[in-house]
Every structure is written in structure tokens, then in C-alpha cells.
Amino acid sequence: MAKGTIKAASERADLLPLISEVFRSHGYEGATLALIGEATGLGKGSLYHFFPDGKAQMAAEVLAEIDHWFEVNIFAALRKSDDPVRAIAEMTAGVDRYFHSGHRVCLVGVIALGASRDIFAAQVQDYFSRWNDALALALRRAGFSAGVSRRRSADALLTIQGALVLARALDDAKVFGQAMADMKARLLAK
């Protein structure tokens, strides 16, 4: 998208979704200020006005926004729901919505795999650890042992991340949908 083809965002909150898509498409390393400026319609000076610490601050805030979305929409329900089976079903549906049925890569995963991993290691590890813990807790409340809950939770996260990669690699989002359906069945199988 050429500079000026979208209305320049005036609020930091308006910028974060635009910046996150640049990081998703190019990774942290490949997301230049020129690409970010093109996506947001802002020049370098304006970007530094909103993000004085530059690209690292942008990425940290994007990761925090993603983390917040997952905390509110996925993790909290898994930890607190009176109906853990329903919470797991809602997690599966929420993950499908968030990743656009396999058409959108996991930016946290992109960061975890890139050279910038060490810069954001604490945020990445916290995100995946809390997801794993929340899902394992829901599985415990659904009647599974601690060991089974922990293994199934880790398997679910592996399935989600792997399915996103494979769907992208094959350019076939159906791979993600099938993996999600299979994962949901495996999570709760007695």
C-alpha cells in the first residue's frame, strides 16, 4: 500500500493493528520503518513521536496488545469458566476467529522463531506459558489427571502453531480447520 493511500492514523491504538500486520508479513527483522510508514501513512518523525524507542517499542506494544486479546478472550475463560468443556470449545472457536481460519500467522510465533526472539523472550514465553497453564487447568477441571492435562495442553498448542505454519506453507487454510477439529476431539477424548 503506497503512502497516503490510507488515512494517517492519529492514535497509537489505531497504529498497532497496522504495524502488527507489517511484522506478520515481514518478521521483526524485515519490518523496516519504510514499510511501517507505508502501512500507517506516517513518516519516520511521526512514528518516533508515537514510539520514541522505535521499532522495538512498536513490537513490544503489538505483542502486549495480542497478549491482552488472548488474556481477555481465551486465557481468562479457560481459567475461570464453570463449564470447562464449553470454555475449551470457545477457545477453539476464538483461535479460529483470531487466526482467520488459518489465513493469519501467529505473530508471537514469528517472533519466537526469528533472530529477535531474545529481545522479546519474556513476552513470548509468558504468552505461551499462560496459555498452556490455562488450558491445562481447564482440562483438570474437566476431569483429567494433571499429567494428561499438561500433555494435552502442550499438544494443542503444538497443533495450533504447526497447523498455522503448514496452512501457510501449503497455502491451504483447510489444513488449519481440519487440525483444529481434530485437536478439539483429542483434547476431550476419554
pLDDT averaged over the chain?
92
What DSSP character marks residue 42?
Answer: -
pLDDT digits (tens, 9 = 90+) for 12-58: 889 999 999 999 999 999 999 999 999 999 999 999 999 999 999 99
pLDDT tens per residue, range 90-135: 999 999 999 999 999 999 999 999 888 899 999 999 999 999 999 9
Phi, psi for 53 (deg, rounded to 5) = -90, 15
Write the burial class of residue 70 (CB in 10 Å: 0-12 exposed, 13-18 middle, 19+ buried).
buried
- Give the number of C-alpha atoms closer than 13 A to the C-alpha of residue 3, restricted to the C-beta side: 9
62-188 classified as CATH 2.40.50.100: no
Half-sphere exposure of 96 (CA within 13 A, CB side): 18
Query: What number of residues does the chain have?
Result: 190
In the chain, domain spans = 62-188
Cell numbers 475461570: residue: 80
**pLDDT tens digits, residue range 5-16?**
344 455 888 999
